Structure 1
Amino acid sequence: MRADEMPAFKDLLTDAMAYYGKDCSAFTLTVWWGALQGCELEQVATALQRHAMDPERGQFAPKVADLVRVLQGTSTDRAALAWGKVHEAMSAVGAYRDVVFDDPAIHAVVEDLGGWPKVCRTDTKELSYLQHRFQEAHRAYTARGQFEYQRRLAGDRSPDYEYTRNGLPAPRPALVGEPERAIAVIQNGNAAGKTLISTLPEQAMGLLANTTLQEARA
């Protein structure tokens, strides 16, 4: 959940606790927010509803552990749905076109798997293994909540500057999923990706050299 969704989350939790005749204190809200911030507000609302409908546990006011139990299944479902989007886009969009999904975790996972063109060119007999790796990684990123990711997954095409040099606009990426969410992925992502790789600055070289010398003498 985003920081600006805190008021909506507070209203949701307050209503859920009122259903059981319980108050939602500031401390309770803080604990729940910290535990569930990595989830989407819609997921939390669904989990609260599922808890209320549980014949056994639903008789009592929910605790964080109750929702975590429900959300574990939700994250598995979400990973499977995310793979479905990727698998369809592999053939519908292809390796030569940029793509933007409506789920930032997809972008992070695809980068881990070697990039969009490599994923698209996966041999058919290796798809089941790729699906397993994808869904495991997707669940991990979803649980983390906050992570860096590329704003668009680049296809295997000419770089943008070649289009600009010839007075042509760069090709528009394909949006996969809900357009508004995909645009939000572009706005909140970055160009470099999730892993920052840079060169050690000059002033740090002396420190590295001294540390290496001390290790050699030890």
Structure 2
Amino acid sequence: MNANDQGRFVTILTGVADYYERTLPASVISLYWAGLRAYDLAAVEKAMWEHTQSPDESGRWMPKIADIKQKLEGRTQDQASIAWAKVDSGVRKVGTYRDVVFDDGMIHRVLADMGGWIALGRKTEVEWPFIAKEFENRYRGYRLRSEAPDFPPVLIGISNAQNEHQGFQKQEPVLIGDAEKAKQVMLLGTTKPLIAMQLLSAAANSQEQMRRIA
């Protein structure tokens, strides 16, 4: 959340407090804001609503910061586990010789950050649990920050990497997961560099040109 979200956050929090017949002093509201501002506002609101609907003992009491964090991080862990299950299945059933397109663009971004689809296929069974943990941590990080980073439209496999280098016709990719969603990932992906890089001199020239235009 950012400073613009604070008003809405306070409204949500005081509304939940009213539901539990609690009055929160400003100092306590500030504690909630400091403890939860790293998360997305919509996600925090949903987590608070879920707490009020909880059928167990915890749902009878005003949620603490730790209760909301537990719900938020538990949800992203579930998402990360589901995403990794798709990756693991893709490597084992399709392999990294073929191009693949998952039905979740975040999977593409995380694997790109980790070195790409081909690099994943070079990992050993001994390394695999550590790779799984790294993937899930990176995936959760993006989800917790509610980021929507750029991602490649297709994860390139060994065969097409070689075909492109030698000028041969490329094979079509394998769609993993929901085929229609995977097609959307292809359409929304980008072939530009995922991390922008520029020489210092070029950046300085660009700033100078912008000053002249202004």
Q: Which TM-score bucket, shorter chain as reference?
A: 0.5 to 0.7
Measured after TM superposition, the shift of residue 177 of structure 1 is 1.2
2:102–2:176 Cα contact (<8 Å) kept: yes
1:80 aligns with 2:54: no
Measured after TM superposition, the shift of residue 191 of structure 1 is 0.9
1:101–1:177 Cα contact (<8 Å) kept: yes
1:51–1:66 Cα contact (<8 Å) kept: no
Amino acid aligned to 2:195: T
CA spacing shift, 1:102–1:68, aligned 2, 3 Å: farther
2:153–2:188 Cα contact (<8 Å) kept: yes
Report how many residues are paired.
172
What per-residue deviation string (whole Å, max 9, x for no partner) do you get for residues 123-153 of structure 1? 1111111111111111111122221211211
What per-residue deviation string (whole Å, max 9, x for no partner) do you get for residues 49-96 of structure 1? 465024234346879975543121011111111111111101212112
Equivalent position of 2:137 in the other structure: 136
Equivalent position of 1:149 in the other structure: 151
Distance in 2, matches of 1:183 and 1:150, equals 13
Percent identity (aligned)? 30
Measured after TM superposition, the shift of residue 185 of structure 1 is 1.9
Q: Which runs of 5+ in 2 are unaligned?
A: 1-11, 21-32, 208-214
2:39–2:145 Cα contact (<8 Å) kept: no
Aligned residues: CA RMSD: 3.7
Distance in 1, matches of 2:145 and 2:39, equals 11
Correspondent of 1:159 among 154, 161, 164: 164
**1:87 counterpart SS class:** helix
Equivalent position of 2:95 in the other structure: 94
Amino acid aligned to 2:182: A
* 196-205 vs 99-108, which moves further: 196-205
State TM-score, norm by structure 2.
0.64
**1:96 counterpart SS class:** coil
Amino acid aligned to 2:40: L
Measured after TM superposition, the shift of residue 193 of structure 1 is 4.5
**1:100 counterpart SS class:** strand
1:38–1:142 Cα contact (<8 Å) kept: no
Distance in 2, matches of 1:161 and 1:48, equals 56
Equivalent position of 2:53 in the other structure: 52
Measured after TM superposition, the shift of residue 196 of structure 1 is 2.2
**1:69 counterpart SS class:** helix
Measured after TM superposition, the shift of residue 188 of structure 1 is 2.2
Q: Which runs of 5+ in 1 are unaligned?
A: 1-12, 22-30, 208-218
1:100–1:176 Cα contact (<8 Å) kept: yes
Equivalent position of 1:172 in the other structure: 172
Distance in 2, matches of 1:145 and 1:113, equals 20
* 182-191 vs 127-136, which moves further: 182-191
Distance in 2, matches of 1:61 and 1:181, equals 39
Distance in 1, matches of 2:179 and 2:51, equals 28
2:102–2:175 Cα contact (<8 Å) kept: yes
**2:101 counterpart SS class:** strand
Measured after TM superposition, the shift of residue 173 of structure 1 is 1.3
Amino acid aligned to 1:134: F
1:36 aligns with 2:40: yes
Amino acid aligned to 2:109: A
